[in-house]
């Protein structure tokens, strides 16, 4: 018998996603999801050491901690590949104003919107930002999210952007979601209102290099390329500068209008383009050819009351790799990626298996961590969720409550409502 720290057995349906990423089209054949019936998993330390039938795992491994999944669904931990998790303050009164019919420009004129969050975030201490972040991370992991991408972008000036990155220090530990940091060029700060080019120069010459000297360095550069944010020329300059410093590229694009941002997928290796409600048909094949992930944010569409949807059918038919993310931010306070998966079935028309792949292996691929996260194979991080349903077909089908019973994040037991011998 080989020693393990934790065995999960009697798994009714284990979705491993051992081959990935998975274009939505490929998941019409569920065998491509690497599904094992009546499965078991052996875990040692932070890693999965074996996956197979319950009988073989129980024959070959011993562990003090054992969980009987009793026929339930087990999946990889969820990977939230687009969030704005670090910020101070809240904007619940603006939510009410929007429902009362005020426009975003009227809300901005009353001192609201993004600049209100910028002010609150600048005023908060790094300790306060870290405390808020930790609260949100704990909430997310208890609902099954084991990896989270976190963007800056509410500091806007060099010292505050560095402060946002410094707030991430000390949070990389088993039991919390793994954080992938991104430096985001979000909007032009009010101080540079009529000096756009000066701000672009500041971002390139100061913010990018200083971010790389922060206590936690970004792995990605991201630009909010859209109508009213950065234009395509500005975006190109910022991305080139970020890449020059070794950062990989993600992009906010085509949320509010098509201004050509997704064309940049032809010029740069962009790992993920996010939003895409206004993605033109001509660029779908470009995303497919470059294996750039189409990262869809359905609750973000709800938060701006937009009825414009990304071209999901065309993305699926042409073989695009689709991810879904929460886009957690003060204008879209949904921290639960499992809820986003459910909503993605209704709002975007993803099948349950497409939604699951979109929130695990495909999201992990978009962050280039799919060798370790987003799948359950020997050697991968022990990021595991036991759901209170028998199969993936219950994603979307039953929703509106927390279906997670057990969450393991990098080998640490975050939540266990099944009991067992641990």
Binding site for Zn ion (CB under 5 A): 327
d(CA 152, CA 334): 18
Closest to Zn ion by CB, 84 or 403: 84
Closest to Zn ion by CB, 108 or 412: 108
Tell me the closest approach of the beta carbon of residue 53 to Zn ion, in angstroms.
42
Nearest residue relative to Zn ion (C-beta): 327
d(CA 392, CA 341): 11
C-beta separation of 215 from 171 below 8 A: no
Closest to Zn ion by CB, 36 or 253: 253
Tell me the closest approach of the beta carbon of residue 151 to Zn ion, in angstroms.
7
Tell me the closest approach of the beta carbon of residue 153 to Zn ion, in angstroms.
8
Closest to Zn ion by CB, 80 or 327: 327
| Tokens linked to 48 | 């999965």
d(CA 176, CA 381): 13
Tell me the closest approach of the beta carbon of residue 334 to Zn ion, in angstroms.
13
Residue from 281, 220, 286 nearest 252 by CA: 220
Tell me the closest approach of the beta carbon of residue 252 to Zn ion, in angstroms.
5
Tell me the closest approach of the beta carbon of residue 384 to Zn ion, in angstroms.
28
Residue 67: partners with Cβ closer than 8 Å, 6 or more residues away? 6, 7, 8, 9, 386, 406, 416, 418, 419, 420, 422
SS3 298: helix
Closest to Zn ion by CB, 327 or 370: 327
Residue from 262, 342, 354 nearest 302 by CA: 342
| Tokens linked to 315 | 């993305």
Closest to Zn ion by CB, 83 or 391: 83
SS3 354: helix
């Amino acid at each position: 018998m080989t020693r393990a720290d934790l065995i999960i057995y009697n798994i009714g349906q284990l979705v491993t996603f051992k081959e990935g990423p998975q274009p939505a089209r490929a998941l019409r054949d569920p065998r491509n999801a690497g599904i094992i019936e009546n499965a078991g998993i052996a875990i040692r330390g932070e890693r999965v050491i074996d996956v197979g039938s319950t009988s073989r795992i129980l024959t070959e491994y011993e562990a003090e901690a054992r969980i009987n999944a009793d026929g339930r669904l087990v999946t990889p931990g969820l990977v939230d590949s687009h969030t704005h998790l670090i910020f101070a303050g809240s904007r619940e009164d603006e939510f009410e104003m929007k429902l009362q019919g005020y426009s975003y420009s009227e809300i901005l004129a009353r001192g609201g919107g993004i600049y209100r969050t910028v002010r609150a975030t600048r005023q908060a201490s790094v300790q306060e930002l870290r405390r808020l972040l930790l609260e949100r991370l704990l909430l997310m992991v208890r609902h099954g999210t084991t990896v989270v991408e976190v963007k800056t972008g509410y500091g806007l000036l060099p010292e505050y952007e560095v402060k946002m990155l410094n707030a991430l220090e000390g949070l990389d530990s088993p039991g919390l979601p793994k954080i992938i940091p991104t430096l985001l060029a979000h909007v032009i700060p009010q101080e540079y209102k009529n000096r756009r080019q000066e701000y672009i120069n500041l971002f390139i010459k100061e913010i990018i290099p200083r971010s790389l000297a922060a206590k936690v360095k970004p792995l990605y550069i991201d630009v909010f390329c859209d109508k009213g944010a950065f234009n395509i020329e500005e975006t190109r300059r910022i991305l080139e500068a970020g890449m020059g410093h070794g950062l990989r590229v993600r992009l906010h694009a085509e949320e509010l209008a098509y201004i050509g941002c997704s064309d940049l997928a032809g010029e740069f290796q962009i790992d993920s383009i996010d939003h895409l409600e206004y993605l033109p048909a001509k660029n779908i094949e470009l995303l497919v050819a470059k294996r750039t992930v189409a990262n869809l944010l359905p609750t973000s569409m709800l938060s701006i009351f937009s009825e414009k949807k990304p071209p999901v059918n065309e993305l699926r038919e042409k073989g695009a790799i689709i991810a879904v993310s929460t886009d957690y931010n003060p204008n879209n306070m949904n921290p639960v990626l499992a809820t986003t998966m459910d909503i993605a079935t209704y709002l975007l028309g993803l099948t349950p298996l497409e939604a699951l792949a979109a929130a695990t292996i495909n999201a992990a691929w978009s962050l280039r961590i799919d060798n370790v996260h987003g799948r359950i194979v020997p050697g991968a991080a022990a990021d595991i969720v036991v759901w209170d349903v028998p199969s993936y077909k219950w994603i979307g089908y039953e929703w509106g409550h927390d279906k997670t019973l057990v969450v393991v994040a990098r080998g640490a037991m975050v939540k266990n409502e099944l009991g067992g011998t641990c």
